[in-house]
Structure formats: C-alpha cells, structure tokens
Amino acid sequence: MSIRKMFFMLGILICSACSSDLFITHNGNYPTQEDIAKVHSGQTKEQVMDILGSPSLETGLSQNHWIYMSSTTKRVAFMNPTVLDRNILAITFKEGKVSKIETRTLADGNNISVDEDTTKLTERDDGFFRKYFGGAGVYNPLGGTSSGRGI
C-alpha cells in the first residue's frame, strides 16, 4: 500500500469520527392542550392530578404551586445543545383550589447574564502551618470531627 493511500484512508477515518450526528431530545411531561383546557379555577388538587397527572415540580413551602414543563433540544456531535422548544404550565392553588393558571414558552424566557463580582469570605485566614498541620496531634476517641482549634 502506498503512502498516499494510507493518508487517504487516515483522512477518511478522521472525517468519519467527526461526523455530524444529530440528536433531538425531548424531556418533560407537558400535558396536551385538550387536557389543559379541562382545568379551571376552583378545582381541587386531586381533580387536577386526575386530569394532568403528577407535576414536574412542586414549589413553595406549602406546595401550592405546580409546574408542568417540557423542552426539546438539538445536539450536533460534540457541540453545545440548542434549545428548540420549551413549554411551562404553572398552576397556583389557594386553599386547596386552583386560583391561577399560566402558560409560558421559550419566547417568554429571558437571558440572564452571569455576574462576575465576588463576595469576600469573612472567616479568618489561617497561615500555612495552621492550615496544613493544624490538626496534627488532635485525637478524638469518640469519632466525629474536630477542627483542631482550641483543643
């Protein structure tokens, strides 16, 4: 086999390894529009559960906010995924009955920028020896943890 053929075969092998594999992924349990239309104000949690099933997420301390959501993403080979579609249904209960129904889509979302500011920690800065050798010689026969300070 000539050197040209070997480089040609190697080139084909490298190109096939970087193929444009396309993955479409759907996540979530967003209900159908027909089922959403069956939910109205005044229904109980049990009635909503019978119609829509279990929510994707329950929020709030009293779990009076139910969220049903789904998203569709596209990923090509090793590139970052792209969100194609997102749907959110938020149901708020007051005194055990539906009080508010809201729907949101990908178009309703906002891009949030990451703040690069940092917050200084208030704990003291231990020196090199205390940091790395501060626990040397500390013995705790009952198990547990000990920071090695003040003992």
* Residues lower than pLDDT 50 in the chain: 151
**Average pLDDT of the chain to the nearest whole number:** 80
CATH class of 31-107: alpha beta
pTM beyond 0.85, yes or no: no
Phi-psi category of 41—alpha, beta or left, where left has phi over 0 and alpha has psi -120 to 50? beta
Say whether 101 sits in a helix, a strand or coil: strand
- How far CA 93 is from CA of 16, 40, 118, in Å, comes to 54, 11, 38
Q: Hey, where are the domains in the chain?
A: 31-107
Structure confidence by residue, pLDDT tens digits, 49-76: 999 999 988 887 778 899 999 999 998 8
